[in-house]
Amino acid sequence: MVATAISCAVQGLSGVPVTVEADVANGLPSFTIVGLTDRAIQEARERVRAAVRNAGFDFPARRVTVNLAPAEVPKEGTGFDLAIAVALLRTGRELPLDDVACIGELALDGGVRGVIGVLPMARRLAASGIRRLIVPAENAAEAALVEGTEVIGVESLAVAVAYLEGRLDLAPTAAPPMGELIAPGGVDLAAIRGQSLAKRALEIAAAGRHNLLMLGPPGAGKTMLARALAGLLPDLGADEALEVASLYSLRGRLSDRPATSLRPPFRAPHHSVSRAGLIGGGAGLAQPGEVSLAHGGVLFLDEVCEFPRAHLEALRQPLEERRVGVTRVRGTVTFPADFVLVAAANPCPCGRLGQREAPGCRCAEDAVLRYQARLSGPMRDRIDMVADVPRLGGEALFGSGAEEPTAAVRERVAGARARQAERAASTGVAANALLGAEQLVAVSRLDVRALDALTTAGERWRLSARAYHRVLRVSRTIADLAGEERVTRQALLEAFQLRGQSE
Amino acid sequence: MTGHRLAAGAGCWPPGLADLDQLGGSCGVRSIWLEGELPPLPGVALVGSRQATFAGLEAARRIGADLGRRGVTVVSGFALGVDAAAHRGCLAAGGQTVAVLGCGLAVDYPRSHRGLRTEVSLRGALVSEYTAWDGPRAWHFPHRNRIIAALSRAVVVVEAGEKSGALSTARWAADLGREVLAVPGSILGQANRGSNRLLRDGARPYLDVSDLADVFPECAVPGASDRRRRPERPGGEAANPPLEAGDHAARLLALVSAEPVPRELIGRALGLGASGLAVLLGELELEGHVRSLPGGLVARPRW
């Protein structure tokens, strides 16, 4: 006697619908699960046996074989428990609703516990036309975000079985409304005194998606500024928000950030983070790393020089391709990782370089050079702007004059984004930060005086080709913020101020 | 290439070195290794802190250039900071310079001075009393300072903290009867403690190159090329006058002296937003009137 149930295996952000087949045959009583399973699924035998019995059903004292098909797809985690139990029970009774997918972990008493990755599973199942789901009650809200899917949240196996028998009518969970005003932990620009250069750099970064390096001593406010950047970015689109929520679901981190939030995420991993934690990976199921949790938002690397060099090298792929491939023994998965990078560093090992008041910087010149050399390499090439963030004295901190609030700046950013979107129709490039060398020339449309400034600057500062491109990209965004059709001399001059000292 | 050896008493043995023998003990120099060609000696020693401030580096560069332009050899210790700035300033003005190392000539130290090393050996000489592969030991440096003092007629201490090695050069100079001068510095902070103390103890202040006139007559008259290229009022020579910013530019230049000023304060003083200030500074920087320094500071450019 063979019966089936539907579930889903995740692979990166996507997955494969899985048919759980249960066969009960004569022979010595046993319980075997096959189909490229991991340890957690093997342990499901004990959970399922106890849960079935404690939910008031009989566990067949016969030879039980469960197969998870397709059998060549590796499967991991505890989310198959419910489907295994349902398939098993179906061998002995009529459970007429058979187009319903079941996801959830079983407790020994027959309860159903939440699992990670329910949102991406729901999306994947919907894509293959499976639009009715039984999920753990605690995951029902996230699954309900998928439009057109009917989600039944259950707290126990008995309820799920009663529903599938048609004895119990459960109302589908209503999709929670998307949108939320300010992400938790957000900082308003108006709360930061002074630092006008850095703030302007944030505005430009938000408008053109440029990566930014902030140089300044500890305590100057770099972290606050980086947080404020997340507030300057425009809201995510509904699809993008769902994608971001899926990534958080995979990490089981929806408690950090509500799945309904349209605000771009802000992630600030500490420099002790592991490579898998930063880039993605992990022992079993390949999990998204911080670069993917920052997808659509801001990745802030404080004390960037303290990060292991190999980690920074590994950032090259996400910075260039806006996604990251994670290779595990069982295959490669790809996660999106399209973020604005904000790196912060001290200008020298002691952090007081260029500070006027005592105690001044006591680093030897070669120590400073060596320190700054750590900022070079593949990552530096992808950073368009450098802003000094000096520690301010009382005169600047307590000066009069209101600071511009985030809302006002965000409006300018939105305008600049709209101008880029218009251009994207012809260039195919969504943001100025992604403009390549050839596109830059066409898109910049320098006027005569701007061209003159560029030539003079090139001679004076001996700009490399890379530096030219960086300045042009940034100046294009500055012109977009000002609503200029062409890149003006003013835009270029301002971009020069953000080019950074060393090459 | 590790240069050639010169023994005491050789034909081209630098005259000043013999004076060290009179100090007795192990002060005398029996031989030196040489790379490049010795320029006319004695010269003027320019010494100071390795961890110099921007003002200190600026001063060292300028004095080095003033001397180089007059054909006075600049002697220094090839260290980071003031020493290197002095060598560079002198070379940039077309002068000749002698670098006295604290390690053998074959040792690449400090590593970041590879380029400077070539320049010095082409337009002056690298000198060391240590054999080719002797490493840069801590005790070498105060010891080689006696050679710096001996090769000079005057020692100018540019910027020295309380424990700077430059003070040992000044002591050697005093023992050898050389003129000792010091560049006066701010009494705030640590950077000038040592050099200011020298002034209190009787060293002569160095204000401009004419202070060296009694040991080097060629320093008496300020040369024509010497006048600092004061930035002209904006709008004068510039091909691209900062148009709408004319008035602001003048006020900004008045605010920024040789001492670096935080840009945040400039913006406040002029009532300019970040964007406006950046455009203005960009324009002035492009024309060479100001330059940006690390830490959000703005200063007048070097000479």
Residue in B closest to A372 by C-alpha: B294
Chain A residues with CB inside 8 Å of B112's CB?
365-366, 369
Nearest 5°: phi and psi at B184? Answer: -65, 145
Chain B residues with CB inside 8 Å of A471's CB?
none
Closest CA to A140 of A167, A115, A158: A115
The CB density around residue B133, as the number of other CB atoms within 10 Å, is 11
Q: For residue A359, give the nearest of B110, B190, B296 by CB distance.
A: B190
Q: For residue A388, give the nearest of B54, B275, B295 by CB distance.
A: B295
Contact yes or no for B286 and A497 at CB 8 A: no
Q: How far apart are CA A253 and CA A247, in angstroms?
A: 9
pLDDT band at A261 (very low <50, low <70, confident <90, very high): confident
Contact yes or no for B267 and A196 at CB 8 A: yes
Contact yes or no for B263 and A492 at CB 8 A: no
Chain B residues with CB inside 8 Å of A460's CB?
286, 288
Question: Domains plus CATH for chain B?
Answer: 4-226 (3.40.50.450), 246-299 (1.10.10.10)
pLDDT of residue B95: 93
Q: Nearest-CA distance from B216 to chain A in Å?
A: 32
Indicate the DSSP class of residue A314.
H
Q: What is the mean pLDDT of chain B?
A: 84
CATH architecture, domain defined by A405-503: Orthogonal Bundle (1.10)
Q: Where are the domains of chain A?
A: 2-165, 178-393, 405-503
pLDDT of residue B240: 40
Chain A residues with CB inside 8 Å of B188's CB?
357-358
Task: List pLDDT tens digits, range B248-261.
Answer: 888 888 777 656 77
Q: Tell me the C-alpha to C-alpha distance, in Å, between residue B229 and each of B64, B211, B250.
A: 16, 21, 17
Mean pLDDT for the stretch of residues B256-272: 77
Chain A residues with CB inside 8 Å of B279's CB?
490, 493-494
Q: For residue A358, give the nearest of B80, B84, B189 by CB distance.
A: B189
Task: List pLDDT tens digits, range B83-102.
Answer: 999 999 999 899 999 999 99
Beta strands at B31-36 and B124-128: parallel, antiparallel or unpaired: antiparallel
Q: What is the mean pLDDT of chain A?
A: 88
As assigned by CATH, the class of the A178-393 domain is: alpha beta
Residue in B closest to A458 by C-alpha: B286
pLDDT of residue A180: 57
- Residue written as token pair 């000066």: A399
For the four alpha carbons of A273, A278, A279 and A284, in that order, the dihedral sign comes to positive
Task: List pLDDT tens digits, range A32-63.
Answer: 999 999 888 999 999 999 999 999 999 999 99
Q: How far apart are CA A429 and CA A209, in angstroms?
A: 12
| Same fold: A2-165 with A405-503 | no
pLDDT of residue A329: 72
Contact yes or no for A354 and B80 at CB 8 A: no
pLDDT of residue A501: 64
* Weakest-pLDDT range from A10-24, A190-204, B170-184, B238-252: B238-252
Residue in B closest to A490 by C-alpha: B279
pLDDT of residue A438: 85
Complex prediction ipTM: 0.76
CATH architecture, domain defined by A2-165: 2-Layer Sandwich (3.30)
Residue in B closest to A399 by C-alpha: B268
Contact yes or no for A396 and B281 at CB 8 A: no
